[in-house]
A and B are shown apart, each in its own frame.
Chain A
Amino acid sequence: ETGVTQSPTHLIKTRGQQVTLRCSSQSGHNTVSWYQQALGQGPQFIFQYYREEENGRGNFPPRFSGLQFPNYSSELNVNALELDDSALYLCASSLVGSDGYTFGSGTRLTVV
């Protein structure tokens, strides 16, 4: 079975720009969640998608948005980038009702 794939692996953006990060779910999984991991900290839950709708959100502003596609892949969009958005962004897929989360290797976003 394939794992979770994230792209790109690294990205540098300028403050105020917009960015889109992508995630392909593990085969058989129908739920995708996104996490932000700042340097030296634990991952923080951004939001979760199931059946192409957001069904849970952490304490992040509306400029963080997402999409889930019919093939269960997902995008994370961040508008009006700020320096504090610099972090590792992790995607995890799971099967709703199960306890198993599979994580991708993450996208390292640097905002300058």
Chain B
Amino acid sequence: AQSVTQLDSQVPVFEEAPVELRCNYSSSVSVYLFWYVQYPNQGLQLLLKYLSGSTLVKGINGFEAEINKSQTSFHLRKPSVHISDTAEYFCAVTRNMLTFGGGTRLMVKP
């Protein structure tokens, strides 16, 4: 079985500040890891994915994530956020089907 826990339901941050959205996962086998973003009234857009290899993964819009297999974490980071980054972010894990966390609402304030 696989599961995903997003540790923060909401993260408020000021514009141009750094941000980290936390994600822990559990799985009895090796899995692929993803971060998706969802803007209001829209579907899911892939930010980045980890399949294998380097523990640091770079994605779109300046986001990156680092997998820590000993702590089973896959936290998402951005060094400087913009107002337009305000959205819901979902961490997901897959072996044969996607399992999502509950989401983290990133609120960027001016």
- Name A residues whose Cβ lies closer than 8 Å to a Cβ of B: 4, 33, 35, 40-45, 48, 56, 58, 90, 92, 99-101, 103-106, 108
| CA A43 to CA B99, docked complex, whole Å | 8
* 9 chain-A/chain-B pairs, Cβ below 8 angstroms: A33-B98, A42-B100, A45-B97, A45-B99, A56-B97, A58-B97, A99-B49, A104-B43, A105-B42
CB within 8 Å: A-B pair count = 50
In the complex, the chain B residue whose C-beta lies closest to that of A40 is: B103
Q: Which residues of chain A are within 8 angstroms of B46 by Cβ–Cβ distance?
A: 100-101
Cβ 8 A contact of B100, one of A40, A43, A100, A106:
A43
- Name B residues whose Cβ lies closer than 8 Å to a Cβ of A: 4, 6, 32, 36, 41-46, 49, 51, 90, 94, 96-103
Q: Which residues of chain B are within 8 angstroms of A108 by Cβ–Cβ distance?
A: 41
Cβ 8 A contact of A42, one of B94, B96, B102:
B102
Contact A92:B49 (CB < 8 A) given known A103-B44, A105-B43: no
